[in-house]
Structure 1
Amino acid sequence: MFDLAELERAHGIVGQAVPPTPAHAWPLLAQRLGTRVVVKHENHTPIGAFKVRGGLVYLDRLKRESPNTAGIISATRGNHGQSLAFAASRHGVPAVIYVPRGNSVEKNRAMHAFGAELVEHGEDFQAAAEEAQRRAQFAGLHMVPSFHRDLVLGVATYALELFRAAPDLDILYVPIGQGSGISGCIMARDLLGLKTEIVGVQSTEAPSYALSFAAGKIVTTETSNTLADGMATRIPDPDAFALIRKGASRIVQVSDDEVGAAIRAYWTDTHNLAEGAGAAALAAALQEKQKLAGKRVGLILSGGNIDFDLFRKWVGTDVTPAAQRAMA
């Protein structure tokens, strides 16, 4: 996809808008996991999520190579759309973002506040994406996919920061939505010549990449009904899957109860708010706690954009027996 020099240049582009995010070793999380742990805080970007990096790099190239672009269009469950709206506003490019009906109210408000035209369509991400593609064709807008080389190049800059701050990580847990985050981690690790084991994380309610990884070929699902909307993917991207299959050791599936427990753990142990996908890496590490003794563990807290009502209903309710086990 790219070499280390290009990744360094991308880091410079991202750095014009996004300072390096912290990588903290939290002692209470170390006690909870029974081993050393480092959290990469991508919830501390200007949009509260790692995706901002990809949008900045994508728009930088688009404006250089196609300066007369009439506008961009894409589909999202939230953070990808915020990234594009944020980057497009910095370049003076109109942005149209499609979301499924019932999407996160607060993510929708944020995309609109960053200057995007927001359109609700369909019952899930896939339906919204297909409609966005149709509109792009008749409206003359540039369609930005959910997975693209420049998006991976951008988000790989957080992995570059993490691996340079903590080159001795034995294992890194990374949530998977459409796959740009874990692909960026794999690329950065390989370009730096490190041996860190990279483990993907998906929801039990949206396990398309996990099923594909196990089968060795693309497997789709009919639904993606997880509360962790950043992992609500039914159809894997073929390029992302190829990279994940080659560079990840395995994919762990976590339930919504386990993710809810991890959100609570982040709050009590670090006073950081994580969205569902953002807490998934910790949920997976807690599930595999017995395997981690003596290892230095990395966790990607990919974002903190969770609606207050969802937080209250999902995370703030009485803890279920499954969540109690996950918190133990």
Structure 2
Amino acid sequence: MESTRLDIDRIRAARRVIDPVFLDTPLYRCEALEPGLGCAVSVKLETANPVRSFKGRGTEMVASQLAGNGSGAVVCASAGNLGQALAWSGRGRGLDVAVVASRFATAAKLDRIRALGAALELVDGDHEMARERAADIARYEGIRLVEDSLDIETCEGAATIGLELVDTPPSFDTVLIALGGGALATGVGHVVKALAPGVEVICVQPLGAPAMTHSWRQRRVVTTESTDTIADGVAGRRPIPAVLDDLLLVADDAVLVREASIIAGMRLLLDHAGLVVEPSAALGIAAILEDRDRFAGRHVVTVVCGSNVDVDAYHRWVGTARVPGV
């Protein structure tokens, strides 16, 4: 594999920095899902931790470094999960954490950011506007800006998931990873390609937020004017060039899925795995639903990356979901 920004030795070292509460999350074969999907399916459950998403692995890295060099404050833009994770990690290390988010972000995520003690500023636009505002705050106040996916700590923290995947039997031949800014996909993808190169790495993004997938396919940054998806955690419009460069080296494919398939995937995970997940976490299941023939006979691992969901919206979605062929 050509060289990405990530490093296996640093990723292994990250396990000594990250709070163990985020490590060694459940990985198990979920046979109840398999009749409806037509393949062997294992789930890597990144919701069984205090912030209910994988983001804590990366923010633990960031907060540890900041506390170690005497920094007292940090700011990030977030659709919700990164903000919660940074607030949790920063609180434990005495950091002042500020989070900028869209006022249209999931209310439950915003409430949790506040509950964890972070200062929360809302902007009237989307996540890209929040990114711009966070950068302005960092410049004006002279504090650390955490940029998810661009900051290597967020990628290498997420990459520890990959170590756990390749070190745990049974073996698998495909991994499905939600694709947003790219920290999860490049992190897990880097480790899998380095240590289990025969495994196919497939990234999954909503059809209504396709910027990174289009960028991967065209091998150049492609931006979009807007997004239209319930999967708010992956709804970016402006891919980061350095992250795309990494993704091009570790991803075997990037696919787009419809909203109906995302909702059907959420319903399958509820009915057959007992898992309440946010839309981004159902992208892998949605990809299988849309292309059963491709995955037939395979053993697929999907990373269930978050469960921070608005309860009322969740009931609206899964209450009307119809799972094709199940």
TM-score (norm 1): 0.94
CA distance in 2, matches of 1:208, 1:198: 18
| 2:56 maps to which of 52, 57, 64 | 52
CA distance in 1, matches of 2:255, 2:285: 11
Q: C-alpha root-mean-square deviation of aligned residues, in Å?
A: 1.5
Indicate the residue corresponding to 2:127 in structure 1: 125
CA distance in 2, matches of 1:129, 1:155: 20
| Contact 1:40/1:301, CA 8 A, preserved across alignment | yes
| 1:315 maps to which of 314, 318, 321 | 318
Aligned AA for 2:194?
Answer: L
| Contact 1:75/1:97, CA 8 A, preserved across alignment | yes
| 1:86 maps to which of 85, 88, 103 | 88
Go from structure 1 to structure 2 and tell me whether the alpha carbon gap of 1:16 and 1:324 turns closer, same or farther (over 3 Å shift): closer
Report the 3-state secondary structure (helix = DSSP H, G, I; strand = E; otherwise coil) of the residue aligned with 1:200: strand
Q: Superposed, which structure 2 residues align to 1:129-208 within 5 Å?
A: 129-147=131-149, 148-166=151-169, 168-208=171-211
* Structure 1 segments of 4+ aligned residues over 3 angstroms from their partners: none
Aligned AA for 2:240?
Answer: D
Aligned AA for 2:97?
Answer: A
Query: 1:35 deviation in Å?
Result: 1.7
Report the 3-state secondary structure (helix = DSSP H, G, I; strand = E; otherwise coil) of the residue aligned with 1:40: strand
| Contact 1:254/1:280, CA 8 A, preserved across alignment | yes
Q: Superposed, which structure 2 residues align to 1:214-253 within 5 Å?
A: 214-253=217-256
| Contact 1:13/1:57, CA 8 A, preserved across alignment | yes
| Contact 1:173/1:285, CA 8 A, preserved across alignment | no
Aligned AA for 2:159?
Answer: A
Aligned AA for 1:145?
Answer: E
Deviates more, 1:210-219 or 1:262-271: 210-219
Indicate the residue corresponding to 1:263 in structure 2: 266
Query: 1:312 deviation in Å?
Result: 1.9
TM-score (norm 2): 0.94
CA distance in 1, matches of 2:204, 2:251: 11
Matched, 1:296 2:292: no
Report the 3-state secondary structure (helix = DSSP H, G, I; strand = E; otherwise coil) of the residue aligned with 2:222: coil
Aligned AA for 2:15?
Answer: H
Aligned AA for 2:61?
Answer: V
Go from structure 1 to structure 2 and tell me whether the alpha carbon gap of 1:35 and 1:164 turns closer, same or farther (over 3 Å shift): same
Deviates more, 1:258-267 or 1:246-255: 246-255
Indicate the residue corresponding to 2:43 in structure 1: 39
Query: 1:324 deviation in Å?
Result: 4.0
Indicate the residue corresponding to 2:15 in structure 1: 11
CA distance in 2, matches of 1:23, 1:41: 6
| 2:74 maps to which of 72, 75, 82 | 72
CA distance in 2, matches of 1:229, 1:43: 17
Query: 1:193 deviation in Å?
Result: 4.2
Go from structure 1 to structure 2 and tell me whether the alpha carbon gap of 1:246 and 1:117 turns closer, same or farther (over 3 Å shift): same
Indicate the residue corresponding to 2:118 in structure 1: 116
Indicate the residue corresponding to 2:285 in structure 1: 282
Give per-residue Cα distances to partners, 1:271-328, cap 9 Å, x unaligned.
Answer: 0111010111110122121111221111111111111021022222x33xxx543x54
Query: 1:4 deviation in Å?
Result: 2.8
CA distance in 2, matches of 1:308, 1:36: 30
The alignment of Structure 1 onto Structure 2 pairs a total of residues equal to: 321
The structure carrying a bigger helix percent of its residues is 1
Query: 1:11 deviation in Å?
Result: 1.3
CA distance in 2, matches of 1:77, 1:248: 24
| Contact 2:76/2:100, CA 8 A, preserved across alignment | yes
Go from structure 1 to structure 2 and tell me whether the alpha carbon gap of 1:227 and 1:193 turns closer, same or farther (over 3 Å shift): closer
Report the 3-state secondary structure (helix = DSSP H, G, I; strand = E; otherwise coil) of the residue aligned with 2:15: helix
| Contact 1:167/1:194, CA 8 A, preserved across alignment | no
Q: Superposed, which structure 2 residues align to 1:97-116 within 5 Å?
A: 97-116=99-118
Query: 1:115 deviation in Å?
Result: 1.3
